[in-house]
Structures are given as structure tokens and as C-alpha cells.
Structure 1
Amino acid sequence: MPFIARTPTRIDLAGGTLDIWPVYLLLGSGLTLNVAIDIHSHVWLHPGQGPGYRLFSEDTGHWEEASSLVDLRLDGPLGLVARAVRHSAPPEGLTVVTRNEAPKGSGLGASSSLLVALLAALDRLAGKDSDMTGLVDLAADLEAQTIRVPTGKQDYYAAVHGGANAIWFEPGHTRVESLPLTDG
């Protein structure tokens, strides 16, 4: 039986790069506004699929197979997925299938959304409840290691919380306020 996760992408309304450490600290604090949208990232984990690990991206067609965690390529097109799988260290025999509805480079936070879905699914596979703050921090760390530049965190918060959010970045603390949405 697969473990399935789906998370939304987001539109950034205000604040852009004010969610990047240490930018918000140098300014005293930062505030971003975003809204999750109905364009999603999907993850399916299929345990018990024979030896090794298999990663497949439905939207890009990229595929990787490795006999062990250390053999997963961190520098390839599935490097972010491989890094998350390596970090979580699931049992052998795992097939990971991903799909992003957002086009690559769309600016909708698709890779961040996908990473949140993947980490949450890997937690469920391990029988753990996801700590959402820890999940956001871990996702930001893994993505920064993969792309080799600092990352902001608003994308991850949108994927975790959904809806519209005001996110305050302050020294030692991040606060997320859900904002009401109305039709019309």
C-alpha cells in the first residue's frame, strides 16, 4: 500500500526575499504574504519493491535507481529527492514517485512544496508524526544544500499550512497567521 502526500504551491503576494536568513535579521524582521493555490505537488512512496531504491519524476521523466542510499546521486536532476531520501534513511525496497503540476521555473515554490510532501510521506512511512516547524527547517536546509544558495522559508510554510498566510520572520522566532479568504 503506497504512502501518498499532496501539498499546494503558492503565489507570493508581498515580501519576496524577506524570508531569507539573514536578510530579515539585517532589516530587524521580515513579513511575507502568500496564498496557497490549487496547483499541487504529489508524492507516492511504494515500500517493499525489491532491493535498493528507485526515484521517478512523472512530470520530468527522470528516473534513478541505486542499490543503497549512498549510491543515490545528489547532483542529478533528482538530487533534491535523493537528498531527502538519504536523510530520512528509509528501508531498502522503496520506490518514490513524484509529480509537480507547476512547470519548472514557474516561481510558485513547486520544489519546496514537493520537498514538504516527500518529507511528510517519509515520516509517515517511518511511523512518525511530522513536526511542522522541524519539517520546514529541514526542508530549507536540504534545499539549500542541493541548490547551494540560501533559501527562504515562505514556500514551505505555504505547503504546510495551505490557505493565505502572513508570515513574520523575527530573531529566534517565526510566526504564521492564517488569513481569512472569501469568495467574491
Structure 2
Amino acid sequence: MKSRIIHAPVRVDLAGGTLDIWPLSTIIPEAVTLNCTLNVGITVKIEQISGPCALVNADTGTTGQVNSTHPDLKLAAGALQFFGKEAAEGLKVTMKSAVPRGSGLGTSSVLLATLLSGISIELGKPMEAREIVRVAADIEARLIDCPTGVQDYIAPLFGGMNAIRFPAGGLDIHPIGIPDGLGERMVLIFTGISHFSGIPNWEMLKGFFDNKNIRSAFYRLAEIANLAVNAAKSGNVDRLALHMREDYNIRKSLPVQLLPKTEVLFQFLESSHLVAGFRMCGAAGGGTVVAIAKEGQKAKLGQKATEMGYPVLNLTPRNRRIETNVE
């Protein structure tokens, strides 16, 4: 029996992370998020079987059914439950990730968007990309009991580098060509600390309403994100790196404490002559740091991070989106 294989890239956010969370995305008029898909990500395999739906997380070996609440399976279960009785039987869904768990590269959200896309096609009712974004955000917020943004769903559905804006009632997704030389200078450093964006997002969201200094910081983040978008549009990697560093400096004042293990890394990145700019991926608190090395210094920067005990992920910017094959 034929299987449907779906490959989807994860993403790196370069500016404006957190600004994609409602209602910040609506309240801040100039809110924009800049992200870019990477060369690898997650794979979902959908097979037709007889009997109840089966879920398999190939990374952990966890198995279950459509009513599973296990952390390794709940996103897949939530996706199947969205389709109701049609998806309660007859499908086996297997998930596998090529990036570390908790990397802060949008893996869970990318997985959910991929599941909705693949299952809807399998059922003969393919969903439009913007519908997937809306549905995925609702499902994930319910499952993690925290606010969620939308950039992670948009990345694999639209692919490449995008500037995402949030006009009333919709999304403005503007594609930008990946600047020449960005891949030759980008270094993605894994802190080794699993990242959960929900709690940091909630803390920052509360701070926006409760603390005028934090509110001002978010407006400044939006200004910086727009400058980063302009730099990316013009293909100026050095200027993009500068605005990433500015983003990091603002985020240090937000209510997400850098974990001790990551402080050592950030102190190095702040002072190193090898680094043009860097920022924390996602909502910080662990996961991955994206750094832009100075011209010709990528290998040395990666080597130094590795010597410090921080693995460098074999990832690079790539114009990819969800791809489906039948085997």
C-alpha cells in the first residue's frame, strides 16, 4: 500500500520574534517578523491501515492512538482530532525530526503545520496554507495552554525568507530573496538546553501590559525588525547582523532570564572579534543561538563554539517549503 511522505523545513527567526503573537501583532502597528527556512527539518509518513489510527514518534519510540496526551504525540493527536471521525481510523502517522528536540527552531509548530497539510491531502480535502496557519495556532495554544505566534507555521508553508506583517484580519507575507553570502556566514549554535517557548512568551506578553519599560522595549524591537527587513531586502548581511545584535541587546531587558549555561556563550559572542551579530532564536531560555560570523570567520567561530561545549548544527538557509511524495 502506498505511503505519503512529507518533508518540511524548520526555520530560523532573524528579527521580530514574539511580535507575531496576538495581540502584540495587532497592537504594535509596525510589528514584523523576519524568518527563513533551513535545509532540513521534519519528516511525516502517513500510511493507510485497517483499524484505529496509530501514532509513532520515531525519535523517541513513543506510540499511541488518536486520543493520546503523551507529550511526544499530542500535536499529532490534536491534528487528527481536528478532522473528527474521518481521521479516527485507517491512518498510521510516523514523525521524525532531523534537528534536536527543543532547538527553538520552530520544530513542534512546523510538525503541526505539516500534519494538517498531509492529513488533509490524505483525506481528499486539502487545506489552504493560510487556513492551516489559523487552525494550527488554535490547536497548539489549546494543547500547551499558552499563547502562540504564527511565524513557525508560515515558514514551511511559504518557504524561503519572509517578512511577515499583521494587518487587521489577515497576514501580509512578503518573500525576500535570501541574501548572497548569508549561508557562508551563519552559524547555528545549540545550547544543549531544551527550549519551550510557551512560558517565556506568556511572561513577555504579561510584561507588555504590566510594565511600561517592557512595552517600550517591544516597540523598539519592532523598529529594529523593520531595519533588519530592509537590510535583508538590500542583501546587506553586515547590516542585518548589526540589527540582530541590537535585537539581542533589547531582549536582555525582557523578563526571560538567560540560563547560566547560556550566559557563558553570550558573553563570548558579545566580545568575540569573530562575530558580526547574533540573537537568541525563538523566545530564548535555551534552544539555539543564530550568529553571523564576520567575513571568512565562520569556520573559526564554529570551532570555538564547539570547543566551549556548544554543538554547531549542520543547518543553512535554504528556500524550501513542505514537499509531499507518494511512495
TM-score by length of structure 2 reads: 0.52
Give the letter aligned to residue 44 of structure 1.
K
Compare the two structures and name the one with the higher strand fraction.
1
Pick one of 99, 103, 106 that aligns with 1:102. Answer: 99
Matched, 1:166 2:167: no
Identity of aligned pairs, percent?
A: 38
> Shift of the alpha carbon at 1:52?
0.9
Q: With CA pairs under 8 Å and 6+ residues apart, which has the higher RCO, 1 or 2?
A: 1
Q: Please give the secondary structure, in 1, of the residue aligned with 2:18.
A: helix
Pick one of 166, 173, 176 that aligns with 2:173. Answer: 176
1:82 maps to which residue?
Answer: 77
Instruction: Describe the shift of the 1:91–1:125 C-alpha distance in structure 2 as closer, same or farther (beyond 3 A).
Output: farther
Compare the two structures and name the one with the higher helix fraction.
2
Write out per-residue CA displacement over residues 145-170 of structure 1, whole angstroms, 9 at most, x where no aligned residue.
Answer: 11110100011110101100000012
Alignment of 1:11-160 (within 5 A): 11-47=12-48, 49-64=49-64, 66=65, 69=66, 72-74=67-69, 76-89=71-84, 90=87, 92-160=89-157
- Alpha-carbon distance in 2 for matches of 1:182, 1:12: 15
> Shift of the alpha carbon at 1:43?
0.7
Please list every run of 5 or more consecutive structure 1 residues that lacks an aligned counterpart in the other structure. Answer: none
TM-score by length of structure 1 reads: 0.91
> Shift of the alpha carbon at 1:182?
4.5
Q: CA RMSD in A?
A: 1.5
The answer to whether the 8 A contact 1:29-1:170 is kept is no
Aligned length: 178
> Shift of the alpha carbon at 1:183?
3.8
